[in-house]
């Protein structure tokens, strides 16, 4: 046994050294196969194949590139850059040689899923459900996460619990809503984001996260009516019991924006979900989403989602989800999702 362990350690060390010498990044592949059945249509497709390239350029400087081959509603396959950004753990140390822990400012530069709430920054393989809730989709980018290009700074506040403040300045992607007229709030031109993110360890098995986020679209406009303003309140509770795990997540949205040159009006929405892992093989979830009217226009939308998951391996799972409710189409979703490479750990 000792010989086996020593051999394994030598192999891992050799692989690590080789990877550093040859400057090879960590490469991963995530596959997302999705079937959908409703009164309107029945489909099965390779929804997305995601490729990730991640590498430490220097201690404290990490580069991340996520690309995806996905299928449009038209049936066309499109190769797209989802994210490409560099994380600086301590920007002040990199540029000024200051390693004082009291003045560590982190930074992210590039194209990024915006840190607005908790759900928008997560890739599909990290979601607890097959899709994002109806209010999340409407407030943040539609079926695809809301992303933009720019930079963000973060600072860990000197408090006895985890508390981080973030602020970012971005350029909206011109093609984010192409072909999706009125399918979601459209944030234009320059974007400003801010988030206060807090984490509390209640016990060895219980922890809670609370965040408040603000997104301002067309932030440089002189008229308030030309801006889009979104507030997001998120709470996430995690409880672990042996091999079981319970996650309760809630997110509240309050948006002010105008359409077609009209004055801004308010629209609210929220979702609340519970997700339970019974063991290493089975999971179940339930989610309720509500999207209110935009001012006096439209109708309230209510969505109920029910999920059952069977884990096939540590990095692959099969899911069945039912969506129903008011003013939405009843739909059954069947998903097989798998991962290869270091990034597939998010499926575990």
Name the pLDDT band for 23 (thresholds 50, 70, 90).
confident
Q: How confident is the model at residue 199 (pLDDT cuts 50, 70, 90)?
A: very high
pLDDT score of 348: 66
Q: What pLDDT does 7 receive?
A: 43
- Give the pLDDT score at 175: 56
Neighbours of 313 (CB within 10 A): 11
In this predicted structure, the answer to whether residue 16 has a pLDDT above a threshold of 70 is: no
- Mean pLDDT for 29-55 is 93
CA dist 139 → 75, 193, 269, 281 (Å): 25, 14, 8, 33
| Arithmetic mean of pLDDT, 193-211 | 95
Helix (H) or strand (E) holding 330, with range, is: none
Q: Give the Cα separation of 324 and 292 in Å (integer).
A: 17
Report, as an integer, the average pLDDT of 27-31: 94
pLDDT at 224 over 70: yes
The rounded percent of the chain whose pLDDT value lies above 70 is: 89
Which residue pairs, CB below 8 angstroms and at least 24 apart, start in 216-221?
216/191, 216/192, 217/172, 217/185, 217/186, 217/187, 217/188, 217/189, 217/191, 217/257, 218/187, 218/188, 218/189, 218/190, 219/169, 219/189, 219/190, 219/191, 219/192, 220/189, 220/190, 221/189
- Mean pLDDT, to the nearest integer, of 267-276? 97
Specify which of 20-24, 121-125, 204-208, 231-235 reaches the highest per-range mean pLDDT. 231-235
3-state SS, residue 94: helix
In this prediction, residue 13 carries a pLDDT of: 46
Are 327 and 303 in contact, with CB atoms under 8 Å apart?
A: no
Instruction: Determine the Cα–Cα distance for residues 112 and 193; give it in Å rounded to an integer.
Output: 12
Give the three-class secondary structure for 238.
Answer: strand
Q: Is residue 92 scored above 50 in pLDDT?
A: yes
Label residue 71 by pLDDT band (50, 70, 90). Answer: confident
pLDDT in tens, 273-320: 999 998 889 999 999 999 999 988 889 999 999 999 999 998 999 999
Instruction: Confirm if 146 and 138 have CB atoms less than 8 A apart.
Output: no
* Residues 321-336: tens digit of each pLDDT: 999 999 999 999 999 9
Distance CA 42, CA 330 (A): 12
Q: pLDDT at position 101, please?
A: 64
197 has pLDDT over 80: yes
pLDDT score recorded for residue 174: 67
Residue 38: is its pLDDT beyond 80? yes
Domains of the chain, start order: 27-347 (2.40.160.10)
Provide mean pLDDT across the span 76-103: 82
d(CA 129, CA 7): 41
Average of per-residue pLDDT values in the chain? 88
Close Cβ partners of 39 (under 8 Å, ≥ 6 residues apart): 329, 330
């Amino acid at each position: 046994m000792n010989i086996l362990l020593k051999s394994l350690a030598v192999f891992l060390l050799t692989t690590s050294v080789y990877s550093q010498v040859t400057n090879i990044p960590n490469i991963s592949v995530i596959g997302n196969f999705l079937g959908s059945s409703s009164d309107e249509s029945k489909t099965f497709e390779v929804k997305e194949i995601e490729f990730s390239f991640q590498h430490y350029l220097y201690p404290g400087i990490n580069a991340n590139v996520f690309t995806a081959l996905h299928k449009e509603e038209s049936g066309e396959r499109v190769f797209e850059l989802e994210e490409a950004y560099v994380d600086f753990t301590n920007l002040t140390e990199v540029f000024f040689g200051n390693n004082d822990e009291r003045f560590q400012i982190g930074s992210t530069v590039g194209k990024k899923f915006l840190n607005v709430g908790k759900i928008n920054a997560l890739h599909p393989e990290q979601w607890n459900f097959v899709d994002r809730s109806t209010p999340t989709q409407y407030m943040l980018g539609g079926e695809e996460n809301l992303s933009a290009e720019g930079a963000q700074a973060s600072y860990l506040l000197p408090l006895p619990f985890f508390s981080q403040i973030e602020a970012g300045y971005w350029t909206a992607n011109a093609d984010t809503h192409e072909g999706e007229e009125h399918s979601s709030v459209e944030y234009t031109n320059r974007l400003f984001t801010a988030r206060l993110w807090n984490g509390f360890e209640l016990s060895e098995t219980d922890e809670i996260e609370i965040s408040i986020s603000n997104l301002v679209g067309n932030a440089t406009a002189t008229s308030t009516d030309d801006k889009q303003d979104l507030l997001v309140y998120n709470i996430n509770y995690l409880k672990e019991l042996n091999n079981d795990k319970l996650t309760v997540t809630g997110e509240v949205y309050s948006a002010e924006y105008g359409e077609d040159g009209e004055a801004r009006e308010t629209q609210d929405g929220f979702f609340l979900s519970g997700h339970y892992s019974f063991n290493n093989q089975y999971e179940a979830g339930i989610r309720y989403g509500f999207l209110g009217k935009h001012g006096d226009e439209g109708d309230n939308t209510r969505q109920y989602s029910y999920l059952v998951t069977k884990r096939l391996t540590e990095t692959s799972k099969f899911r069945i989800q039912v969506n129903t409710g008011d003013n939405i189409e009843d739909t059954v979703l069947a998903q097989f999702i798998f991962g290869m490479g270091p990034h597939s750990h998010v499926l575990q």
